[in-house]
Amino acid sequence: MNISGRNKLPGKVMDIKSGAVMAQVTLEINGQQVVSAITNDSVAELGLKPGDTATALIKATDVMIIKQ
Amino acid sequence: MNISGRNKLPGKVMDIKSGAVMAQVTLEINGQQVVSAITNDSVAELGLKPGDTATALIKATDVMIIKQ
Amino acid sequence: MNISGRNKLPGKVMDIKSGAVMAQVTLEINGQQVVSAITNDSVAELGLKPGDTATALIKATDVMIIKQ
Amino acid sequence: MNISGRNKLPGKVMDIKSGAVMAQVTLEINGQQVVSAITNDSVAELGLKPGDTATALIKATDVMIIKQ
Amino acid sequence: MNISGRNKLPGKVMDIKSGAVMAQVTLEINGQQVVSAITNDSVAELGLKPGDTATALIKATDVMIIKQ
Amino acid sequence: MNISGRNKLPGKVMDIKSGAVMAQVTLEINGQQVVSAITNDSVAELGLKPGDTATALIKATDVMIIKQ
């Protein structure tokens, strides 16, 4: 299976915080934290839990650039 | 200056491809490619060029998760 | 492979229009047109062409609702 | 009134789950479920309830493509 | 017709720049420029041209916050 | 620091509503309400509170256009 989304960053689930509708999943990717806000239903359907290997998927049009 | 966007991944500009409206900027972040699609006007205003230090900014609600 | 993105709508590629950076891919899904704007690089990497079976992937936070 | 968003998929509200800030609205569109995460304020302002006719609105730049 | 998208900012079209796939539409809203990147097909279908009255529509989950 | 995101609209925080994961921040920008949905963690990290000067940051690809 191939996905058009340009950015697939493999990492590990560090933490999951659940609300009524949304959940916040914190990944560690190359020693850096990456935070994702997805639905609770997604967390349940994927059976996500801390320690899992997981990949962040990000569409190129959703990436901004900061220049110092 | 502080930005709510949860994910700020520092890297280096590797390549810029420009169209009439949009540009594709490829960053290297921790040895991995991250692709951003922003407007040409943004590239010009930031004066982005290969070799620049730059940071990818990604809102948490734009990060999906893939589980293998 | 499992993706958190809630909406996966299977269909068929009807048309691809390519610019310098972005491409517009039109799918037919249940007799209805669905338009996607992705990078040309994605079209090339997936080898997308009219007639292909393909699935639209849409994150729940990107779906608005209109009420008549 | 005309909206630039390319994808307007008419359907019916099947379920609404409300949190403190966000709500998850499940539509049935051509026999398929489409999930939307919008604010509770939007649900209230639109007076959305199960059984309502409603349309999913999705910008083309938010549609990814999966190829099997 | 009612749209869940929280932010509808009325203004005037100042400029349209067209590429092969995407177009950049600049609005003036309360004396400030707001830039939108939509498909060329949307510009054509809406018949957008400089001087038109138009409204920017932005989903709340797409608004970040900067604090100085 | 320079951000590629085209739209930076300065305003004032009027209201913050917090859930378990997400928060809704209402800004007043040129006499008009702009609503943002960000994570609670962002609100805490920025120390956002009503009365604060703050700026809405919106990527051009997230701006749709409505024509009456």
Does any CB of chain D come closer than 8 Å to the CB of residue A50?
no
How far does F4 lie from chain B, in Å, by closest CA?
Answer: 5
| Beta carbons of D28 and D11 less than 8 angstroms apart | yes
Kindly indicate whether the ipTM for this predicted assembly is greater than 0.90, answering yes or no.
yes
Share of chain F above pLDDT 70, in %: 100
* Tens digits of residue pLDDT in C23-57: 999 999 999 999 999 999 999 999 999 999 999 99
Structure tokens at F55: 């700026």
Q: What is the pLDDT of residue D58?
A: 98
How far does E40 lie from chain B, in Å, by closest CA?
Answer: 11
Average pLDDT of the segment spanning B30-35: 97
User: Which chain F residues in 22-41 lie under 8 Å from chain A, judged by CB atoms?
Assistant: 22, 39, 41
* Tens digits of residue pLDDT in C8-23: 999 999 999 999 999 9
Q: What is the pLDDT of residue C1?
A: 77
How far does C11 lie from chain E, in Å, by closest CA?
Answer: 21
Which chain A residues are within 8 Å of D23, Cβ to Cβ? 21
pLDDT at residue F68 above 90? no
Mean of the per-residue pLDDT values for chain A? 97
Instruction: Give the global pTM.
Output: 0.98
CB atoms within 10 A of CB D14: 16
Q: Which residue, chain included where needed, has tokens 């009255």?
A: E53
Sorting pLDDT into bands at 50, 70 and 90, what band is A47? very high
Nearest to A64 among F3, F21, F39 (CB): F3
pLDDT at residue E1 above 90? no
- Give the Å distances, CA to CA, from D65 to C30, E47, F58: 16, 28, 24
Q: How far apart are CA B38 and CA E36, in angstroms?
A: 11
Q: What is the pLDDT of residue B58?
A: 98
* Tens digits of residue pLDDT in F6-28: 999 999 999 999 999 999 999 99
Which chain A residues are within 8 Å of C4, Cβ to Cβ? 36, 38-39, 42-43, 45-46
Does any CB of chain B come closer than 8 Å to the CB of residue C2?
yes
Which chain D residues are within 8 Å of C63, Cβ to Cβ? 34-38, 56-58
pLDDT at residue F44 above 80? yes
Nearest to E61 among C19, C37, C61 (CB): C61
Q: Which of F50, F1, F2, F6 is nearest to F24 (CA)?
A: F50
Q: How far apart are CA D21 and CA C40, in angstroms?
A: 37
Q: How far apart are CA D25 and CA A29, in angstroms?
A: 31
Q: What is the pLDDT of residue B68?
A: 86
- Give the Å distances, CA to CA, from E66 to A66, B54, F53: 13, 18, 9
Q: How far apart are CA C55 and CA F24, in angstroms?
A: 32
Q: What is the pLDDT of residue E54?
A: 98
- Give the Å distances, CA to CA, from D62 to C7, C56, D7, F32: 11, 10, 10, 27
Which chain F residues are within 8 Å of E37, Cβ to Cβ? 60-61, 63
> Cβ D56–C47 below 8 Å, yes or no?
no
Which chain D residues are within 8 Å of F35, Cβ to Cβ? 39, 41
pLDDT at residue E22 above 80? yes
Residues with pLDDT less than 50, chain D:
none
Nearest CA in chain F to A21: F21
Nearest to A21 among D19, D62, D66 (CB): D19
- Give the Å distances, CA to CA, from B2 to B38, C1, E68, F3: 21, 36, 6, 12
Q: How far apart are CA D48 and CA B40, in angstroms?
A: 40
> Cβ F4–A65 below 8 Å, yes or no?
yes
pLDDT at residue B46 above 80? yes
Average pLDDT of the segment spanning E17-34: 97
A23: Cβ contacts below 8 Å, ≥ 6 apart: A16, A17, A37, A38, A39, A40, A42, A43, F21
E56: Cβ contacts below 8 Å, ≥ 6 apart: E7, E8, E9, E11, E27, E29, E34, E36, F63, F64, F65, F66
Q: What is the pLDDT of residue D1?
A: 77
Which chain B residues are within 8 Å of F23, Cβ to Cβ? none
- Provide the phi-psi class of B2: left if phi over 0, else alpha when psi is between -120 and 50, else beta: beta
Which chain F residues are within 8 Å of A62, Cβ to Cβ? 59, 61
**Test the F interface: residue of B1, B2, B3, B4 with most F CBs within 10 Å:** B4
Q: Which of E26, A36, E23 is nearest to D60 (CA)?
A: E23
Mean of the per-residue pLDDT values for chain F? 97
Q: How far apart are CA F48 and CA D27, in angstroms?
A: 35
Q: How far apart are CA B54 and CA C35, in angstroms?
A: 32
Q: What is the pLDDT of residue A1?
A: 77
pLDDT at residue E32 above 90? yes
Angle in degrees, CA F13, E14, E62, rounded to 5 = 35
**Test the A interface: residue of C1, C2, C3, C61 with most A CBs within 10 Å:** C3
Sorting pLDDT into bands at 50, 70 and 90, what band is A35? very high
3-state secondary structure of A53: strand
